[in-house]
Chain A
Amino acid sequence: MSLNMKQIVIAVLGFIFLGSLLLVQAMEVSRRRVEMGQAPKHVVAPASSSKCVECHTKETPGIVDHWTGSTHAEKGVSCYECHEARQGEADAFDHYGQLIATVVTPMDCSKCHPKESEQFQKSHHSSAGNILASLDNFLAETVEGARMEFNPHSPTPGMEVDMVRGMASANSGCQQCHGGKVGLMGTDGSVITFEQLKPDEKGMPTDQTILAMVKRDPKGKPELDPTTWPNTGIGRLNLDGSRGSCSACHSRHDFSPRRARQPENCGKCHLGPDHPQKEIYEESKHGVAFRDLKDDMNLDAEHWVLGEDYSAAPTCATCHMSGNSRNGGEVTHDPGERISWTNRPPVSVRMDTDENHKIVTETDPQARQGLIADTADAKRDRMKLVCSHCHSPDYVSKFYDQYDNLVILYNEKFAKPGTSIMKSLTDNGITSPTQFDEEIEWTWFYLWHHEGRRARHGASMMAPDYTHWHGMYEVAERFYMGLIPQAREMAEEARHSGNAAGADAVDAVINEILARPEHAWFEEGAADASERIRKAMEERYGTK
């Protein structure tokens, strides 16, 4: 090969080399570009929490891992920012040089999220803890459990059981959704809650003497009452006097908006025999669409505005809380803002609310008007803004006609009559004031609390099977085959035990109800049935 030839070969090779390097360069550039879009946010623990993160990466890697993926981590909000406690707070303790508290309350969150906290405080969610004095709680505390600790009556092999804690059902059941009353153990065995601490507006206990009574471990960490903690119930009553728990929906420690946007999140509590909202949603076309189109839901979007970020399907949050393109993308942390009926009580009530977001019970139209701050119609209009993203106004209003009709039918045909029957039984001394000690009280509870709600919730969220078979059908059966015969039987029994006046009064109420046209089929079509009942009674109690 001549020198010339070699030079030419070298020149060619040199350029090929250059070309191959340009290829490398192109790969590098495209790689950079791809990375730019996907580069994870740089997460570093702020100096305030760098030691926490260092240690907890080993101690509780799950917590740090969750936090690392959170928006909090991106923005420099870490352990201390939320767990920070002030000197003088009942549950504050020194943890390797920093004063912190275990339980993070809405008051803590409100330091940065005041608007969300304020909306939440107005919501029905925040008063979920009020169940502590309600009928449902009576069930758990007395009927299912006991308001006491009592001795076991036989040994449990393999375990030393010295005490049966009667409140266990309420603690593990009711309060995990509704929220418990967070308590600290006292040195004298008592439990210290916000009621003893009497916190001021800023959450500082006004009764400082009680602080000395808080039981602490050798390191100075106050001991939380294990029957009240852990608890992330939505209406939790906290030591600083605030109500609620943000982590009920925004699970710690990633506080993922993505998760709060999905129906499963609400499904922790909104399910089951008495309010199967989750199942109702799943049966509805809305839920079916969500399940199918989840990938198009853009669940990671920063603001997640319906009509802008997504429109594939609505979730619980979409309709009740999230922003949409027609309301300016305004999110609310009060899910009651768009609800026009409350189907919670035995008889559904219109959601005309006063300044304190309490339902107006005044019946006089004039006075009522004066009290209402936010009408049920205004609430419904807010919901209609959501609906209107996918449905025409005519379609939406006719849906609401159907829904209203069902609620009113239930109210008028069963709920109000049932209420008056139950009331007359109590008023006439036939049922005792104690709940759930008579069969009819269970019957009535099933009727409105389980079946009646299922029917109404089913109609409100387009689940026909819940409206009908799990709903109205069972309401009717419970009414005609349970409530009416049981009430009659109790009246008859009362008559035999000398309360003839009471029995007459109850019978009058029942007769008046059954004489109504909507119930006429029952008396006419079931004449022999009532004859059979009458005969059975005579056999049991003799004729009079």
Chain B
Amino acid sequence: MNALQRWWSDRIPVTGEQVRELTNEPVPNHLKRWWFCLGGTAAYLFLVQIFTGILLAFYYQASPADAWDSVAYITDEVAYGWYIRSVHKWGAILMIAAVVLHQMRVFFTGAYRKPRELSWVVGMLLLLLTVITGFTGYSLVYEQLSYWGATVGANIADNVPLIGGLMKRMLLAGDSYNAHTLSRFFILHGAALPMAIVAIIGIHIVLIRIQGVTEFEDEAEKKQERKTFNFLPDHLYTEIIIGTTLVILLTVLATVLPAEMGHRADPLTTPEVIKPEWYFYVVFRWLKIFPESFAILSTGAIVFLMFGWPWIDGALRRRRPGSEMSVWIGVAAVLAIVGLTIWEALVAH
């Protein structure tokens, strides 16, 4: 035993104490409240997505001729294929939900305020990347929604002034959907975007570690002596509980509502009702309400404002100290988003 330990410490000269020191960041007590774990939830779901995504990539074939068949093969032929695919699909939905909820929590607790503005910006990037990954993901199935979603999406990009045409050409690998389009989507979805997400999550975590998590305290907690608890094992257990609950949830969703095969993409027939995934409903409805170029420009402006929110909020608070304006703007935005989403969900066109 001793010899083994020596062999090990010769090569990795780090003691258990040091490891604990390194990883065992004190975790503020408020993180014992479950709604403060949404960021970790998203991260955990991202791991699930990487794992199931790698599995699916073993069978997926990114060409218009084979894509649908290969997904059908995964769904119908491969052992547990339907399950892995369903988990991947539901994982994506839950992950986007987690990211959105995480961002709302950060917003309403004001956790983006100085000095954490950069964390917010990085978080915004993660939100965008997650949504784009979702979009490229369902384009890969090459069912009707995939094809027409990609076509419509690319043509929306086309309307962006100046760089629109370039964006569309870069996305579709040509002026319209063609034989090379799917492999672009595949690499974006399966390699480029996930790697970007990994890198940005890394930055996100580094920023958190440097700045520390915002500490909140309520009346009860103030009375306690110790305002933090150990990351290991206490918070890890919390994360495991959340993670395992999530995979159980995913498994239940996958068995009760498994991912089905839609009709194979038909470039000559646009389906009567064409809708993107639910997380695009807001934008989709927005585009239908307003004239195209205004809708696109305004969407861009809104995204830009969201990136700059910490500074806008700062300016507002400087001008009118103590006002609850930011909260009300947030409430209004959430109501608008929920309203538009429900609107789009209820109508056919």
Do A and B interact directly, with beta carbons closer than 8 Å? yes
Q: Give the contact-size bracket for chain A.
A: 10 to 19
Contact of A44 with B by CB under 8 A: no
Contact of B248 with A by CB under 8 A: yes
Partner of A16, one of B79, B240, B248, B254: B248
Let me know if A28 and B83 touch, CB within 8 A. yes
CB distance from B168 to the nearest CB of A (A): 31
| Closest partner residue, chain A, to B240 (CB atom) | A10
Contact of A13 with B by CB under 8 A: yes
Contact of B9 with A by CB under 8 A: no
In the bound assembly, the distance between CA atoms of A16 and B238 in angstroms comes to 17
Contact of B255 with A by CB under 8 A: yes
Contact of B278 with A by CB under 8 A: no
Contact of A288 with B by CB under 8 A: no
Contacts of B202 in A (CB 8 A): none
Contact of A27 with B by CB under 8 A: yes
Partner of B247, one of A17, A31, A35: A17
Partner of B238, one of A6, A23, A28, A35: A6
Contact of A7 with B by CB under 8 A: yes
| Closest partner residue, chain A, to B247 (CB atom) | A17
Contacts of B255 in A (CB 8 A): 20, 23-24, 27
Contact of B233 with A by CB under 8 A: yes
Contact of A62 with B by CB under 8 A: no
| Closest partner residue, chain A, to B86 (CB atom) | A24
CB distance from B140 to the nearest CB of A (A): 23
CB distance from A13 to the nearest CB of B (A): 4
| Closest partner residue, chain B, to A27 (CB atom) | B255
Let me know if A7 and B245 touch, CB within 8 A. no
In the bound assembly, the distance between CA atoms of A14 and B234 in angstroms comes to 17
In the bound assembly, the distance between CA atoms of A347 and B315 in angstroms comes to 114
In the bound assembly, the distance between CA atoms of A21 and B251 in angstroms comes to 7
**Given known A13-B241, A24-B83, contact A6–B234 (CB-CB < 8 A):** yes
Partner of A3, one of B79, B234, B247, B254: B234
Partner of B245, one of A13, A24, A31, A35: A13
Let me know if A6 and B252 touch, CB within 8 A. no
Let me know if B80 and A28 touch, CB within 8 A. yes
Let me know if B237 and A3 touch, CB within 8 A. yes
Q: Binary interface profile of B, 230-242, with partner A (CB < 8 Å = 1, else 0)?
A: 0001100110110
247-270 of chain B: CB within 8 A of chain A: 247-248, 251-252, 254-255
Contact of A9 with B by CB under 8 A: yes
| Closest partner residue, chain B, to A32 (CB atom) | B79
* Most chain A beta carbons < 10 A, residue from B245, B247, B248, B252: B248
Let me know if B80 and A13 touch, CB within 8 A. no
Let me know if B241 and A10 touch, CB within 8 A. yes
CB distance from A21 to the nearest CB of B (A): 6
In the bound assembly, the distance between CA atoms of A6 and B236 in angstroms comes to 10
1-50 of chain A: CB within 8 A of chain B: 1, 3, 6-7, 9-10, 13-14, 16-17, 20-21, 23-24, 27-28, 31, 35
Contacts of B241 in A (CB 8 A): 6, 9-10, 13
In the bound assembly, the distance between CA atoms of A14 and B2 in angstroms comes to 34
| Closest partner residue, chain A, to B249 (CB atom) | A20
Contact of B244 with A by CB under 8 A: yes
Contacts of B248 in A (CB 8 A): 13, 16-17, 20
In the bound assembly, the distance between CA atoms of A456 and B251 in angstroms comes to 71
In the bound assembly, the distance between CA atoms of A10 and B248 in angstroms comes to 12
Contacts of A28 in B (CB 8 A): 79-80, 82-83
Let me know if B244 and A14 touch, CB within 8 A. yes
**Given known A10-B244, A28-B80, contact A20–B252 (CB-CB < 8 A):** yes
Let me know if A24 and B233 touch, CB within 8 A. no
Contacts of B254 in A (CB 8 A): 24
| Closest partner residue, chain A, to B230 (CB atom) | A3
In the bound assembly, the distance between CA atoms of A145 and B334 in angstroms comes to 85
| Closest partner residue, chain A, to B244 (CB atom) | A13
Contacts of A31 in B (CB 8 A): 82
| Closest partner residue, chain B, to A5 (CB atom) | B237
In the bound assembly, the distance between CA atoms of A6 and B237 in angstroms comes to 6
| Closest partner residue, chain B, to A16 (CB atom) | B248
CB distance from B344 to the nearest CB of A (A): 32
Let me know if A10 and B252 touch, CB within 8 A. no
69-95 of chain B: CB within 8 A of chain A: 76, 79-80, 82-83
CB distance from A278 to the nearest CB of B (A): 41
**Given known A3-B237, A6-B238, A10-B237, contact A17–B79 (CB-CB < 8 A):** no
In the bound assembly, the distance between CA atoms of A17 and B237 in angstroms comes to 16
In the bound assembly, the distance between CA atoms of A9 and B244 in angstroms comes to 10
| Closest partner residue, chain B, to A13 (CB atom) | B244
In the bound assembly, the distance between CA atoms of A530 and B244 in angstroms comes to 107
Contacts of A21 in B (CB 8 A): 251
CB distance from B214 to the nearest CB of A (A): 22
Contacts of B244 in A (CB 8 A): 10, 13-14, 16-17
| Closest partner residue, chain A, to B83 (CB atom) | A24
CB distance from B247 to the nearest CB of A (A): 6
Let me know if A24 and B234 touch, CB within 8 A. no
Contacts of A23 in B (CB 8 A): 251, 255
209-242 of chain B: CB within 8 A of chain A: 233-234, 237-238, 240-241
In the bound assembly, the distance between CA atoms of A24 and B237 in angstroms comes to 26
CB distance from B52 to the nearest CB of A (A): 13
| Closest partner residue, chain A, to B242 (CB atom) | A13
Contacts of B234 in A (CB 8 A): 3, 6
Contacts of A7 in B (CB 8 A): 237
Let me know if A17 and B233 touch, CB within 8 A. no
Contacts of B79 in A (CB 8 A): 28
Q: Binary interface profile of B, 272-300, with partner A (CB < 8 Å = 1, else 0)?
A: 00000000000000000000000000000
Q: Binary interface profile of A, 175-214, with partner B (CB < 8 Å = 1, else 0)?
A: 0000000000000000000000000000000000000000
In the bound assembly, the distance between CA atoms of A31 and B237 in angstroms comes to 36
| Closest partner residue, chain A, to B238 (CB atom) | A6
CB distance from A36 to the nearest CB of B (A): 12
CB distance from B275 to the nearest CB of A (A): 29
| Closest partner residue, chain A, to B251 (CB atom) | A20
In the bound assembly, the distance between CA atoms of A14 and B241 in angstroms comes to 9
| Closest partner residue, chain A, to B32 (CB atom) | A1
CB distance from B234 to the nearest CB of A (A): 6
In the bound assembly, the distance between CA atoms of A24 and B241 in angstroms comes to 21
In the bound assembly, the distance between CA atoms of A189 and B240 in angstroms comes to 89
In the bound assembly, the distance between CA atoms of A98 and B264 in angstroms comes to 35
In the bound assembly, the distance between CA atoms of A31 and B258 in angstroms comes to 13
Q: Mind listing 23 A-B residue pairs with CB under 8 Å?
A: A3-B233, A3-B234, A3-B237, A6-B237, A7-B237, A10-B240, A10-B241, A13-B248, A14-B244, A16-B244, A16-B248, A17-B248, A20-B248, A20-B251, A20-B252, A20-B255, A24-B80, A24-B251, A24-B255, A27-B83, A28-B80, A28-B82, A35-B76
Q: Which residues of B contact A (CB under 8 A)?
A: 32, 76, 79-80, 82-83, 233-234, 237-238, 240-241, 244-245, 247-248, 251-252, 254-255
Other CB < 8 Å A-B pairs besides A14-B244, A20-B255, A28-B82, 14 of them? A3-B233, A6-B237, A6-B238, A9-B241, A10-B237, A10-B241, A10-B244, A13-B245, A13-B248, A16-B244, A21-B251, A24-B80, A24-B254, A28-B80
7 smallest beta-carbon distances between A and B, as pairs: A6-B237, A20-B251, A13-B244, A24-B83, A17-B248, A10-B240, A20-B248
